[in-house]
Amino acid sequence: MVIQELGLSGFRNYQELFLPLGEGIHLFLGANGQGKTNLAEALHLITHLESFRSRRLEPLIRKGQDTARIKARFTRQGRPCLVEIEIARGGKKVWLDGQPVGKTSEYLPLFFSLLFNAEHLYFYRSFPAYRRAFFDRLISFHDRGYLESLKQLRVVLAQKNSLLRQGDLSSLADWNRLFMEKSQDITGRRELTVSQLRPEMEKSFQGITGREGRLTLTYRSSLPADPVGWPEFLQAAQEKESQAGYALYGPQRDDYRMTLTEGGATAKEGEFSQGEYRAALLALLLGANRLCQQLGARPVLILDDLFSELDAKVREHLAARLDELDNQVFITATQAPDFGRRGKRYGISGGTCQGE
Amino acid sequence: MNVPPSLVRLVDQLARLPGIGQKTAHRLAFHILREDPAYAHTLARALEDVKANIRFCQRCFGYAEDELCPVCRDPSRDTGQLCVVEQPDNVFVLERAGVFKGRYHVLMGAISPLDGIGPGQLKIQELENRLAGENIQEVILATNPSMEGEATALHLARLLAGRGVNLTRLARGMPMGGNLEFTDDVTLFQAFSHRQTFGGE
């Protein structure tokens, strides 16, 4: 998708803003506290319908105003669309092409953006549930069946946990069978995605850092690798699970981890430096982008405060990689290299935005 | 608001019905008011009768006015086929469609630990008794295509395996007369994963 026009009204520190956008790399440059991240937040809200910084709606609304509005015209697979979001303290409303959007779950699979920023990095690095959510969204964007299996697994899991708490295990075998059926759909799809991402990430990491190091993404399932062994495994786990009072194994406990192999030594994710982690996460985003492109989608890339904590060489490599993409890219930074013909520079200052 | 109290009472009672809001309740109340008094009388009688006369069939637990429901009493029904459903209402739907000529067995729910319903709370022992006592060749598991209905079907399949009855489950797929364009994702997904060999010999 390509955002053609963005309008903001009463959003964070923007009183009124109208920006013609379109294809290319859009660089929002300015000093700290001028509204660069606010702009990234608004762009991300269009595809995710929630802020990456705040669960509460109040902070999104400009002081002294009742509502914040985001209006975006964009093209999706060549067709023009219009999204309007109205944020009040009590809740938000969304319209797609003038029609109110009833269910968020019907809107979200239509659009996709890939975000890179400090909050995303912190959450991704710290919480397995956040990592699972990231991959779940990526996979379900391409595969609605996956989303359905996830929903069904959630129901089965709630029922199984309730059963384990109550201690009447007469229908445990039936719930376990459904659990295995759904889990097999889900773990299979996750493994496939990781195997598709792995070579792309490795290439991207080397491209960004200019290093020889091999970045490897691994999917870690809490169930045995071969589903044939699952019935026996869950049977053996029954006592432990009923003691715990909830399911101890399954896709709800799975994880995705990275390692970096260089010069014969392998570093775990926890041992990555801050700069290495940033580069690894960028490699993940570029890999995810490749996957989307192979399926004919062009997600919007939103890269907030992109160049901080990266050394000069990495910055240069990264800029070159981004220049090769045909996505619409939004970058915020205090300063940025030149992107040639694809780059459009804007100065952000005190809630205003001027094209340079 | 100065509205005659008997009208308010009727509106309030109607508004308690599922799917009926205040506005519809008003419309219904005014409609009843305008109609012939005989209609109101017939409606009131029908309401009272349904509560006074309807009970559960002793054999299949569907709705009945006597000991047995009309299906169980009908000698033309195929006694070799038994369709297992969750609720008495489900029998009503299947009867309206006229698709099934055998008999029913109502479980009175589905396995749902979250609602405190295990196999012991359902009419499963009664089902086993029927299988032992009646000459049943096929059991059709027509529980809902929800996770709870699915778990219940799996449980019954496990329980009834090896008893010499043919177990079947209702198919999942595309609605007839439907259009691919307007079919929701879940149905499409189910239809794809349960696709069947077609044509040829």
Q: Residues 109-138, chain A: which have Cβ within 8 Å of B? A: none
Asked if residue B98 has pLDDT above 60, the reply is: yes
DSSP state of B48: H
Give backbone dihedrals phi and psi of A49, rounded to 5 degrees, phi first: 60, 15
Give the tens place of pLDDT for each residue, A9-47. 999 999 999 999 999 999 999 998 899 999 999 999 999
In Å, how far are A18, A156, B107, B153 from B150, measured between CA atoms?
52, 10, 14, 5
- Please state the rounded mean pLDDT for residues B131-142: 95
C-beta atoms surrounding B146 within 10 Å: 14
- Please state the rounded mean pLDDT for residues A59-71: 94
End-to-end distance of chain A based on CA atoms, in angstroms? 25
Asked if residue A356 has pLDDT above 80, the reply is: no
CA atoms of A343 and A323, how far apart (whole Å)? 8
C-beta atoms surrounding A5 within 10 Å: 14
Q: Which of A148, A171, A174 sits opposite B189 (nearest CB)?
A: A148
SS3 string, chain A, reads: CEEEEEEEEEECCEEEEEEECCCCEEEEECCCCCCHHHHHHHHHHHHHCCCCCCCCCHHHECCCCCEEEEEEEEEECCEEEEEEEEEECCEEEEEECCEECCCHHHHHHHCCEEEECHHHHHHHHHCHHHHHHHHHHHHHHHCHHHHHHHHHHHHHHHHHHHHHHHCCCCCHHHHHHHHHHHHHHHHHHHHHHHHHHHHHHHHHHHHHHCCCCEEEEEEECCCCCCHHHHHHHHHHHHHHHHHHCCCCCCHHHCEEEEEEEECCEEEEHHHCCHHHHHHHHHHHHHHHHHHHHHCCCCCEEEECCCCCCCCHHHHHHHHHHHHHCCCCEEEEECCCCCCHHHEEEEEEECCEEEEC
- pLDDT value for A341: 77
CB burial of residue B133 (10 Å; 0-12, 13-18, 19+): exposed
CB contact under 8 A, B193 and A145: yes
DSSP letters of B128-180? HHHHHHS---EEEE---SSHHHHHHHHHHHHHHTTSS-EEEE----PPTT--G
- pLDDT value for A252: 96
Q: Which of A157, A174, A176 to mutate to test the interface with B (most CBs of B within 10 A)?
A: A174
Query: What percentage of residues in chain A have a pLDDT greater than 90?
Result: 75
- pLDDT value for A141: 86
Asked if the C-beta of B194 comes within 8 angstroms of chain A's C-beta atoms, the answer is: no
- pLDDT value for B49: 94
CA atoms of A198 and A217, how far apart (whole Å)? 6
Rounded to two decimals, the pTM is 0.85
- pLDDT value for A78: 83
The model's confidence at residue A209, banded by pLDDT at 50, 70 and 90, is very high
C-beta atoms surrounding A246 within 10 Å: 15
- pLDDT value for B1: 62
Structure-token pair, residue B199: 């044509």
Residue A287 vs residue B188, higher pLDDT: A287
- Please state the rounded mean pLDDT for residues A333-348: 86
Cβ A39 vs Cβ A341: under 8 Å:
no
Structure-token pair, residue A233: 């495994």
In Å, how far are A124, A126, A279, A328 from A121, measured between CA atoms?
5, 8, 11, 21
In Å, how far are A151, B181, B197 from A102, measured between CA atoms?
19, 20, 38
- Domains of chain B, first to last: 5-53 (1.10.8.420), 71-197 (3.40.1360.10)
Structure-token pair, residue A332: 């915020």
CB contact under 8 A, B189 and A144: yes
> Considering chain A, what is the average pLDDT of its residues?
92
CA atoms of B90 and B56, how far apart (whole Å)? 14
Length of chain B: 201
Asked if residue B177 has pLDDT above 80, the reply is: no
Residue A275 vs residue B84, higher pLDDT: B84
- Map residue B53 onto helix, strand or coil: helix
Asked if the C-beta of B169 comes within 8 angstroms of chain A's C-beta atoms, the answer is: no
> Considering chain B, what is the average pLDDT of its residues?
92
Give backbone dihedrals phi and psi of A126, rounded to 5 degrees, phi first: -95, -35
Asked if residue B201 has pLDDT above 60, the reply is: no
CB contact under 8 A, A178 and B112: no
Give the tens place of pLDDT for each residue, A243-280. 999 999 999 999 999 999 999 999 999 999 988 999 99
Give the tens place of pLDDT for each residue, A291-310. 999 888 899 999 999 988 88
Residue A167 vs residue B124, higher pLDDT: B124
- Please state the rounded mean pLDDT for residues B139-154: 96
The model's confidence at residue B159, banded by pLDDT at 50, 70 and 90, is very high
What lies within 8 Å, CB to CB, of B53 at 6+ separation is: B65
Q: Which of A105, A169, A171, A185 to mutate to test the interface with B (most CBs of B within 10 A)?
A: A171
Asked if residue B186 has pLDDT above 80, the reply is: no
Give the tens place of pLDDT for each residue, B164-174. 899 999 988 88
